[in-house]
Structure 1
């Protein structure tokens, strides 16, 4: 199974539990519930495969061997195909050095024989095709555990023994340093992403003192300095006071409020 098929299978399974309209809390709850259901189903399937063995329908060595290899669900499918194969008859029609043609026919109990199909086998390319156009595959890519020859069995046994010796050497510590170095080289450190300030990001409320200090002081248009404006410029204010005191020297209280003195 390819990676895309695995992802599509996972998506179809999770669509039964989660939806795009769910909130974050609801999504996490539903996701955990889906995982719990999946793990429970796996435990039930393992219990059935270990403790409940299906019955064999014949004394075939292939069927007994597949009973020990396949799970119960897959074995029932295999057993059904074995039973259906008993309804077919075949005969060799033509044969040459590279091509062999067989005639395959299905027998129905109520309808006698079905129409004939021609299966062509090319020995040079190891390809099989049928006249029904339903299947056409390369036999070299087909791996059938039930049809292992003695040579293949011997080869697999030798590979398994070498693997056991390799595991034993690792347990003894001969390849511990090499395995550790390989693990360190292949380990990739994934760091947390940088935080992003999006629109509407929350800000801290400032106090009145911080707001006053953060505000820029006014700039005077007369002198160009900060801290005052043209109306409160000290030099102009002193000049205005001196002018008023010269014009109205009657009372200090009347400096800022001039009035016309009554005629004697």
Structure 2
């Protein structure tokens, strides 16, 4: 069978080459070797910078300020110039609300039976004599006749 018909998730190597971000989430296109090299290089560089900054209090403050400004610049780079808002700052965070719940389609949860429907309609009466308390099968008129 040609390899193009076998999906990656079915192979033994499906989990090889996974790359995770700071939150532990897997990044997209993690099987790309170029991305793995970039990730490894950046992680090593960031780790070295953090180790150097931890040696002094001023170094920690400098690194913190630099990383915050770098994060803002990267966010603007990621969003691009087309997403700038008119009259507002781009650093404001907007949260999306959960979607409204939709009623389920299909039949109702409980189907009422014929007896229950008849009970809702009112008191039953005999079709032969019209009295209440019995039906046509148990009517005294029919029981008296041979």
> Is the radius of gyration larger for structure 1 or structure 2?
1
Q: Same fold (TM over 0.5)?
A: no
Q: TM-score, normalised by structure 1?
A: 0.15
Q: TM-score, normalised by structure 2?
A: 0.24
In terms of fraction of residues, the more strand-rich structure is 1
Tell me: higher relative CO, structure 1 or 2? Use CA pairs within 8 A at least 6 residues apart: 2
